[in-house]
Amino acid sequence: MTTPVRVALLGAGTVGAAVARRLVERADLYAARVGSPLELVGVAVRDTSRVRDGVDPALLVQDAEALVDQADVVVEVMGGLDRARELIERGIRNGAQVVTANKQLLAHHGPALEALAAEAGVGLDYEAAVMAAIPVVAVVRDSLAGDVVTSISGIVNGSTNFVLDLVARKGVPFEEAVRLAGELGFLEADPTEDLEGLDAAAKIVLLARAAWGAPLTLADVQRRGITGLTDEDFRTASANGKVIKLVASAWTSGAQDAPRVELAVRPVALPQDDPLAQAREGSNVLIVEAESAGTLRLHGAGAGGDETASAVLGDLVRAARRVTRA
């Protein structure tokens, strides 16, 4: 019997509970893919008395430090900045591999965490942080490593797309669409994350860093959210055969040997037949242009428990393989 790879899960919310369920349901599959079983040693939560569907209550713990100290792989899906950073740093210093879905943490502290991980010789994987189930980080960083990416643009925030789609296709007044999105659970706990383009800004920073290796920060993003839009803007767009979308973009400018990376998140009125205009409801689309590959289009679910867990578990399998091969 091979030694199990010990996994510490930090957080059992929408994403964490889905990861925990899949680890149990598909244990045989992961064991075959890794070459060793994945053992979920515990799940750190704030309240251990709360029942989480499909998550063994015996695994719930409050002492996240003690949990991290037992792990070969730390999976951070609790969100937030300071606590998540402390625990990830602890895991890295212990020599654990780290997987996270935390886009804001990475947008703020990604380079420092990556430097720490490189120093410790461990991986820090974050495919789920950008567009959840849609594999985009690996595409721009690894699959296109032999090419030159020239631009990236997309609908990377499902919540605002849901709002804008309701207005454009169903004729719901803008304020009403925002309210409905909140009621249906489409908006983050702090809705300004979505509505002011902060979530999209974090995602485009992560993609641009992955594509160009440039030391970009959130301050480099020219950002405008959707809160300044009015019903008149939607009527004008529609009268001109256009659809308003919140578009996140990254492109290079300046000398070819020393290109500058420009970043923006802003509402744009797009022609109806533009590929980005096709994103319906909460879906995401990304268009990547590269010198040799030409135009690549990735489309799918950019949020949701199971969808995000798909990307987290993909990173977990790769991280666990590094553990077994070390």
- The per-residue DSSP string of 21-79 comes to HHHHHTHHHHHHHHSS-EEEEEEE-S-TTS--TTS-GGGEES-HHHHHTT-SEEEE-S-
Q: Which is nearer to ligand NAD, 108 or 179 (CB)?
A: 108
15 a known binding residue?
Answer: yes
Which among 308, 324, 262 is positioned nearest to 132, based on CA atoms? 308
For residue 170, indicate whether it is catalytic: no
13 a known binding residue?
Answer: yes
Contacting residue, 76, 89, 188, 196, with ligand HSE by CB under 6 A: 188
Q: Which is nearer to ligand HSE, 158 or 267 (CB)?
A: 158
- 257-296 footprint of ligand HSE as x/- string (CB under 6 A): ----------------------------------------
Sign, CA dihedral 175-180-186-189, equals: positive
Q: Judged by CB under 6 A, which stretch of 87-95, 136-144, 154-162, 256-264 contacts ligand HSE?
A: 154-162
| Residue 199 found at the interface with ligand HSE (CB under 6 A) | yes
Q: How far apart are CA 103 and CA 99, in angstroms?
A: 12
Which among 108, 116, 53 is positioned nearest to 79, based on CA atoms? 108
Q: How far is the CB of 248 from ligand HSE (least distance, A)?
A: 11
9 CB-near residues (< 8 Å, 6+ apart): 16, 19, 20, 40, 42, 43, 44, 75, 77
105 CB-near residues (< 8 Å, 6+ apart): 76, 79, 80, 81, 84, 85, 88, 113
Give, in order, the Cα–Cα distances in Å from 303 to each of 142, 188, 190, 307, 309: 22, 11, 16, 6, 10
> Position 176: which residue type?
E
Q: How far is the CB of 61 from ligand NAD (least distance, A)?
A: 9
For residue 130 the two structure tokens come to: 């950008």
Q: Judged by CB under 6 A, which stretch of 40-48, 156-164, 222-230, 316-324 contacts ligand HSE?
A: 156-164
Considering only residues 90 to 109 of the shown chain, the ones binding ligand NAD according to CB under 6 A are 101-103
228 CB-near residues (< 8 Å, 6+ apart): none
Considering only residues 203 to 222 of the shown chain, the ones binding ligand NAD according to CB under 6 A are none
Q: How far is the CB of 43 from ligand NAD (least distance, A)?
A: 9
Backbone angles phi, psi at 118, to 5 degrees: -65, -40
How many chain residues bind ligand HSE (CB under 6 A)? 9
Residue 151 binds which entry of ligand HSE, ligand NAD, none, CB below 5-8 Å type-dependent: none
Neighbours of 79 (CB within 10 A): 21
Q: Judged by CB under 6 A, which stretch of 34-42, 111-119, 157-165, 261-269 contacts ligand HSE?
A: 157-165
Q: How far is the CB of 83 from ligand HSE (least distance, A)?
A: 19
Q: Which one is catalytic: 170, 203, 242, 245?
A: 203
Contacting residue, 36, 75, 79, 99, with ligand NAD by CB under 6 A: 79
Kind of pairing between the strands at 97-100 and 38-44: unpaired
For residue 192 the two structure tokens come to: 């300004």
CA dihedral angle for residue 194, residue 200, residue 203, residue 204, rounded to 10 degrees: -170
| Residue 83 found at the interface with ligand NAD (CB under 6 A) | yes
| Residue 21 found at the interface with ligand NAD (CB under 6 A) | no
Q: Judged by CB under 6 A, which stretch of 40-48, 88-96, 137-145, 237-245 contacts ligand NAD?
A: 40-48
**Which residues of this protein are in contact with ligand HSE, per CB under 6 A?**
132, 157-159, 188, 194, 199, 302-303
Report, as residue numbers or ranges, the catalytic residues. Answer: 203
**Which residues of this protein are in contact with ligand NAD, per CB under 6 A?**
11-16, 44-46, 64, 77-80, 83, 101-103, 128-129, 132, 303-304, 308
